[in-house]
Amino acid sequence: MAKGKKAKEEVKIFHDAPAREQRIIETLETNYMPYAMSVIVSRAIPEIDGFKPSHRKLLYTMYKMGLLSGRLTKSANVVGSTMKLNPHGDAAIYETMVRLTEGHQALLHPFVESKGNFGRQYSRDMAYAASRYTEVKLGSICTEVFKDIDKNTIDMVDNYDGSLKEPTLLPVSFPNILVNPNQGIAVGMASNICSFNLSEICDAAIAVMKDPDCDLTEILKAPDFSTGGDVIYNRDLMTEIYKTGRGSIKVRGRYEYDKKSNCIDIYEIPYTTAVEAIIEKIVELIRAGKLKEISDVRDETDKMGLKITIDLKKGTDPEKFMTKLYKATPLQDSFGCNFNILVEGSPMVLGVSDILCEWLRFRKNCIKRSLRFDIDKKSDKLHLLRGLEKILLDIDKAVHIVRETEEDEMVVPNLMKGFDIDEIQAEFVAEIKLRNLNKEYILKKTEEIAALEKEIAELSATLSSNTKIERLIEKQLKEISKKFGTERKTGIIYEDEVVEISEEEEIPDYQVKLFRTKGNYIKKISLVSLRTSGEHKLKEDDEIIQEIECSNKCEVIFFSDSGDAYKIKANNIPDCKASQMGEFIPNLMGMGSSENTLGMVATEDFKGHLIFAFENGKMAKIPLKAYETKQNRKKLTNAFSLKSPTVKIIHILEDTDMVAMSSIGKALVFNTSVIAEKTTKNSQGVSVMTPKKGSVVSDLKLLGEAGIKNVSHYRTKNIPAKGAFLREDDTGYEQMSLLDE
């Protein structure tokens, strides 16, 4: 009861306490900044040894478990032991391990040998088996990762509960930071480091050690990825990445063409993508009608490795098809380089040369600490042997001192006094077994003194000489390159060798006819299909008001009564048959629900002019080039004037005779050369026909389509003009139209 009452009183006090206002800057400093720095320094950004804390804790645990040699052990065993250093859930630790295994194939030089299913780097959906089923041990390359770790080469710190010691860095004897890829997203910054070939990196490190300003592009050609593929090489771009640590590298997959089966087998893909992503994109393009060359695509990946098979239709050029596929799918992808690493706790974006310089500085420090450790150990041993050497002068005296000493604790002081040796030497002598108190044993031991003195002198000379330390590093790097180096997995294709297919080349080229109806429908019918087709299917009260013959590569422009123009490639208009309704233009072009189409133009080169005829008798002559854009803009605003309703829009390639007609039956024949060209698209133009009060211009036609017999009666040389009433013999002719064949 008492406890419950006390708890209630504490809650009351808490609620009654006045709320303290806290400034946002204080909140960021006290709450957010420590979190951000923790993520940057202790989680997401790799350090100069090439590891993040999670990797380092896992590998060090395996090292302490004795997994550098011996048999494989269950992954669950390693995960459980790692929790002593890494206070995270078992799933997170196991996922970290999976990426480091040879089975996952994410690294050029995996740190963990594995048995069982660990998924694949190139597959998004292939799940790895649970930790209770798989087995692991450290790979042979880890001998270089933990080289001399027991010789005080790196600092050791307490783990999270102070029960164990763990390394702040691992004394890797090769530039692992650039040999295996690393990616991390921190707070406000990220890191993305690509992998390089081990042998090339070792050679590059040696070159930088000798000359920090050397040209690395001569030694380090390009990144090397575990999934293979080909790097599209641009020397200037690569130089920039090596210098700044930032840039983008294009990588494409590899394929083989099976002529017998007429199929393509893709067996290597870019490191940054997955089999499923490539297949999904191909299927999407097939459904959109943009990859008509494919009859089937399937994933045939098995135990032998990755394989995507694409069956081609007859007559398909495989090289042109693959060029198209590289452009349209993740089969060609980019690796964005951001060489952000922690150097002594501070994040820095460094170029390759600078990273190698930092690693060399780190490695020199490791070697110096190792040399000091060896010197100290050998000096301690030498000190003991020199004490033993003094005993050699009178072994009997030593035995006599021990025998005559009554108390055990006085043995060491008496030996120190009798032979003029220190306490450590006396302790060593006192601990010698009785059977070893003979001249031969002591002579053998003291013979080591000269050898130890020589070794200590050599180690001291190396420690004090930067040149000798660099020679030692060079020797180690060459040995590592020879022992663990492999051939490049990723090939190099020079940028000028890459064949690019333009968008126009990809579009199938064949002649089509475009039909626009009064009800705002568009039909695109190939001429081949049109020859065998019957009557057009139209909605009730609908009719075809315009038709244009053009290429499937043309650009089609629709003019709306809103004053805007909408552009679309003809190949993006679905093919149809005369027996089909076609496409509703507002839906196809994304127009407003109330917009209506006034005209349609098709062009490949944007040559010629557009003639806009307005009800008030004015006409504008606008070059078609004014509607050409470098970007694939779909909508052009203020495409023509809205000051007076538009009667007709006609595309002409050169000046020609036209006929303007009014609502009261007047006609005016003129040549378009009398209309001055306007470069402003929404210009109202100039007055051409002066309609009588109460009438408007109702139509505009090419002279050849008007059916006028007595042309001179209606012709004018100067504008504006009123025109003349149509004579009976001119109106009696059957009017020609665009629909006549």
* Residue tagged active-site, from 35, 133, 510, 733: 133
The total of other beta-carbon atoms located within 10 Å of residue 313's CB is: 12
CA distance 735 to 730: 9
Distances in whole angstroms, Cα of residue 54 to Cα of each of 33, 164, 183, 609, 612: 21, 16, 13, 68, 70
CA distance 229 to 248: 16
Give φ, ψ of 264 to 5 degrees.
-110, 130
Q: Are 71 and 137 in contact, with CB atoms under 8 Å apart?
A: yes
CA distance 672 to 674: 5
Q: Are 242 and 258 in contact, with CB atoms under 8 Å apart?
A: no
User: Strand 308-312 and strand 263-268: pairing?
Assistant: antiparallel
- 349: β partners: 340
DSSP structure class, residue 290: S
Q: Work out the end-to-end distance of the chain between its first and last CA atoms, rounded to an integer number of angstroms.
A: 104
CA distance 341 to 348: 5
- 296: β partners: 311
Q: Are 655 and 672 in contact, with CB atoms under 8 Å apart?
A: yes
Distances in whole angstroms, Cα of residue 735 to Cα of each of 379, 707, 730, 740: 116, 5, 9, 10
CA distance 621 to 635: 21
- Beta strand ranges found along 305-397 (DSSP E): 308-312, 332-338, 340-343, 346-349
Give φ, ψ of 475 to 5 degrees.
-60, -45
Query: Helix or strand or coil: residue 244?
Result: helix
**Is 326 among the catalytic positions?**
no
Q: Are 264 and 309 in contact, with CB atoms under 8 Å apart?
A: yes
Taken as a whole, the chain contains a residue count of 741
- What angle, rounded to 10 degrees, do the helices at 352-392 and 198-210 form? 80
| Cα-trace Rg, the chain | 42
H or E element, residue 200: helix 198-210
- 597: β partners: 560
State the catalytic residues: 133
